[in-house]
Structure 1
Amino acid sequence: MPSTENQGSSSSFSSFGRSIFGARQEQVHSVEASNESDSCNLELGLFQKHVTDRFQVLSAASDEEFLSIDWIQKLLGAFISCQEEFRAILLNNKEQVTKPPFDRMISEFFERSVKALDICNASRDGIEKIRTWQKHLEIVFCALGSSKRALTEGHFRRARKALMDLALATLDEKESGSVFSQRNRSFGRHNSSKDHHSSSGHSRSHSWSVSRSWSAAKQLQSIANNLVSPRATEIAAASGLVIPVYTINCILLIVLWTLVAAIPCQDRGLSIHFSVPRQLSWSTPVTALYERITEESKKRERRNSNGLLKEIYQVEKWIGSIGAPSEGGLPEDNGLSN
């Protein structure tokens, strides 16, 4: 029969062994948790830095490049890059997505993303409208651009008609309704007979993919509603993950707002209040971008302007010189555009 002394020694050894093993497990879990926390913090920090760097470049663009087609392409490219990084953060922290307050903020971001699709559709329609203008300009170039032939009255008639059609195409539909009802459009989508006899009283030169009552200004306001910086308690509860959610929401809003400012959209409007906490590194370039576009709108925007895109502004300036010989315009119409 084993001695009680040996039993006590064995029991003490087992207890000591379990305590050592348990302590080592706690240390391993502590180190793993610390490593995961450090990795998450590094990922979130890099996301903020990349957003800052991308919008620093955009906000510091030269006057020649700012709000041009090339600049808009860079803006969209920067947003796509930010969105891809944000998606990676969500995939790496899937366990947090269903926990409050993270779940609510993610849900709100998805709702804003769905609303953004309308603005994307309206912007696409605006680009189609600009392409129609380009076709009119190509007619003018073909009629007057050749130096190898003598210009005849027919060339001037063709160019003059194309310029008048271009001027009409850039007008707001409500303003140009009575004119469009009497003119055949050379370009643009053809509407059905139902649209042709719509309550507007004229066939539309362009078929918007959004309803007639849809408003870009109201849609932007809807996206901006309730977009507030997270509280300290929410940041702590979600281990800081609410910061990138707030960041991507703000970036989405500023990009959509810029698209509406630059490109022809139904019921354009820029009257949203945009303010972000200064302690966020990307707040400086994004706020600078917002203020710069706002200033441009004050300098260049006029009644019924189609957008702040630099190329649109150049076309509008040219249209404004039609029928003004002192400014190098073509001769007066004299009925040649009919």
Structure 2
Amino acid sequence: MPAKVYHGSLSLHYAHYAHSPFSSIDRSLLSQSWEADIEDFQWHVAVRLAELRDREGFLSFAWIGRLLEAFLQCQEEFRVMVAQARRSGGWGRQAEMLVAAHHQRAVNALDVCNAARYGFVRVQCWGRLANIAASALLAPGEIQEGQLRRAFKALFDLSALLVEDPAAPWSGSGVASFLSSHRNSSFSFRTPASSSRASSSSVSSSSSSSHFSPFPWSVSRTWSAARQLQAIGSGLAAPGAHDEGLAAPAYAMGCMLHLTSWALIAAVPCPDRGTVLQANFLPPLPPALAFPWALPLLTLQDRLTEEGKRKDRRNSCGLLKEIHALEKCVQRLAEAIDAAAIPLSWESKAEVREAAAELAAVCTTMKDGLEPLGRQVREVFHRIARSRTECFDSRMPNTY
């Protein structure tokens, strides 16, 4: 399809498509010729990317969920368009190669989904340990020495998960560095020496017992997020002036796939994630005015790049907004406990309880957000796999 120059706002297109139920879009696709649908599809992609660009809470649970939803909608429209191209006679060697290349990129995205789900499991574990620490200090009544020790013990277990994972690029984070400095020492708040030694010993054994293998069955030790992202973007180039048919939609879906995978890798703990944040893994950028979705896509890519460069995020466990909040609250609580003396003064007790309340609120947010996000990632995985299977089935001759 020849490149076109798009000017103006997406507001009119957004008003028409943004709130339309997907079933109505699907019916519209089926009722039109697939050639006309190519133009509509590109505007649908533009509208969804523009909505993500303008949405508040960048890289939060809600934002990532909306990104996954937008990808699923675009994926379904592209699947319908490919099926219509086959039925309408608009299928040739070029179309077959474009679709095959897209599905090959999607295979790499399946691994990204697996790694992201594993990242969610790790974050859930961090949230449980952080919640133990917060709950111990929010119990009714005066804060006793045992409660402080239970809270610090949970924070030490969290430290083990942050620091001891040999594949973790985030071991230099503020939380990990602060807590690891206390690993082989007694708690600094003033208590009898024998009690401190016993508690320190129990912390060490608890940390070891709570530590688990950094890779599940679905992610090998040699897996690299950087390599997967490079493979997804490999060969992804804007169609030329003489490319027609599915060239433009396939390119749009490739860019959407790359953006979604990049955001998932950046948001949560993934093996080799630090390399992705430090290097440029973008495919050749689309001409800003050649496609209606190019400008919002470029804006989102720039925002992801800038987030990875921020000084307070470079050593973070993930760019996800809620992970960053968890790290800050954990560090504040650890510092408050570390500075405490038994019995607690009024000021120390107020500081500890306030820090624990903030951490408890973040843990509740994470618990409520992780489960639905995990379900969406599973849906993306199954939708990609099903679409690829349908593509192979359609190429097999009918033997009946």
What residue is the counterpart of 1:69 in the other structure? 61
Choose the corresponding residue for 2:267, options 262, 267, 278: 262
1:246 CA drift (Å):
0.9
User: Following the alignment from structure 2 to structure 1, what is the Cα–Cα distance between the partners of residues 163 and 53?
Assistant: 30
Aligned-CA RMSD value? 2.8
How big is each residue's C-alpha offset from its partner over 1:115-164, in whole Å with a ceiling of 9 and x where there is no partner? Answer: 11111000000000000011112201220123x32211111100111112
Secondary structure of the 1:154 match is helix
Residues in 2 aligned to 1:218 and 1:333: alpha-carbon distance in whole angstroms: 46
Pairing of 1:223-234 with structure 2 (within 5 A) = 223-234=232-243
d(CA) in 2 for partners of 1:258, 1:206: 21
**Higher alpha-carbon Rg:** 1
Structure 2 partner of 1:87:
79
Instruction: Tell me if structure 1 keeps the 8 A contact 2:50–2:296.
Output: yes
The residue type paired with residue 122 of structure 1 is A
Q: Is contact 1:133–1:166 with CA below 8 Å preserved after alignment? A: yes
Secondary structure at the residue paired with 2:128?
Answer: helix
Q: Distance in 2 between matches of 1:103 and 1:139?
A: 54
- 1:9-28 to 2 correspondences below 5 Å: none
One-letter amino acid of the counterpart of residue 169, structure 1: L
Per the alignment, residue 45 of structure 2 pairs with: 51
1:276 to 2:283 alignment:
no
Aligned-partner SS, 2:337: coil
CA deviation string 1:209-265 (max 9, x = no partner): 211111001110111111111122222xxxx32111111011001110111111110
- Cα distance in 2 between the residues matched to 1:128 and 1:253: 23
Matches for 1:127-276 after TM superposition, within 5 Å: 127-146=120-139, 148-171=140-163, 173-174=165-166, 184-185=207-208, 187=210, 204=213, 207=216, 209-235=218-244, 240-268=245-273, 269-270=276-277, 271-274=280-283, 275-276=285-286
Change (3 A) 1:154 1:306: same
**Structure-2 change in CA distance of 1:206 and 1:112 (3 Å):** closer
Rounded Cα–Cα distance in structure 1 between residues aligned with 2:115 and 2:58: 22
- Partner residue, 1:330: 337
Unaligned runs of 5+ in 2: 1-29, 172-179, 184-202, 342-400
Identity of aligned residues (%): 38
Give the 3 Å change call, closer, same or farther, for CA 138–323 of structure 1 in structure 2.
closer
Change (3 A) 1:208 1:311: farther
Residues 213 and 226 of structure 1: is their aligned pair in 2 closer, same or farther, counting only changes over 3 Å? same
TM-score (norm 1): 0.73
Aligned equivalents of 2:49, 2:164: Cα separation in 1: 33
CA displacement at 1:204 relative to structure 2: 2.3
| Residue in 2 that maps onto 1:124 | 117
* Deviation digits for residues 72-110 of structure 1 (CA, Å, limit 9, x no counterpart): 111100100010111110111115575121111111111
Contact kept, 8 Å, 2:60 with 2:321, in 1: the verdict is yes
Gap regions ≥5 residues in structure 1 = 1-35, 189-202
- Structure 1 residue matching 2:338: 3-state secondary structure: coil
CA distance in 2, matches of 1:71, 1:187: 31
Deviation readout 1:155-204 (Å, 9 max, x if unpaired): 1100111112223322361277x98996545657xxxxxxxxxxxxxx52
Residue 60 (structure 1) aligns with: 54
Paired residues of 1:126 and 1:265 also in contact (CA < 8 A): yes
In 1, Cα distance between equivalents of 2:311 and 2:38: 39
CA change 1:276–1:333 in 2 (3 A) is farther
Partner Cα distance (1:205, 1:39) in 2: 50
Inter-partner Cα distance in structure 2 for 1:97 and 1:209: 39
Question: Could you report, residue by residue, the CA deviation over 1:250-306 in whole angstroms, capped at 9, with x for unpaired residues?
Answer: 100111011111111011114212411221000011111110111111115655422
Instruction: For CA contacts below 8 A with separation 6 or more, give which structure has more relative contact order.
Output: 2
Does residue 1:111 correspond to 2:104, yes or no?
Answer: yes
Aligned structure 1 segments of 4 or more residues deviating by more than 4 angstroms: 95-98, 178-188, 300-304
User: In the aligned structure 1, how far is the partner of 2:90 from the partner of 2:259?
Assistant: 25
Counterpart of 2:162, as a letter, is: T
CA distance in 1, matches of 2:330, 2:134: 14
C-alpha change, 1:187 and 1:59, in structure 2 (3 Å) is farther
Other structure's SS at 2:271 match: coil
CA distance 1:219–1:88, shift in 2 (3 Å) = same
Partner of 1:295: 306
Matched-pair contact (CA < 8 Å) for 1:172–1:304:
no
